[in-house]
Amino acid sequence: MKIKEMQLRKLLSQFHLTEFETEVLIATASIEEGKTLTYKELAERIGRPNSYRAVGNALGRNPLAPEIPCHRVIKSSGELGGYSGKGGNRKKKRLLRSENAI
């Protein structure tokens, strides 16, 4: 396990997340600025390819948005999907535009 991942795992442990939610957020933290993944791609990345709805639910519990960039996860259709961070989808769109991701 990388040092950064260990530090992130320790930080997330204080928020009482499930192991699944923690895995989703750690994988999300590795999405590069200016890039996006779909909920399905993120589910595949963590080895749970049929759990894309659960991935969305886990992202909805992200206590460190936008530092853990859940705004970089979108629907397979290209639609934004949800954003539970302050400002909702308007903020998600603004963040993605500022990163030249959309």
Of 70, 73, 74, 95, catalytic: 70
Catalytic annotation on 70?
Answer: yes
CB distance 51 to 39 below 8 Å: no
57-61's contacts with Cβ under 8 Å and 24+ in sequence apart are 58/17, 58/18, 58/20, 58/21, 58/24, 58/25, 59/24, 59/25, 59/28, 59/84, 60/84, 61/17, 61/21
CB distance 43 to 36 below 8 Å: no
Active site residues: 70
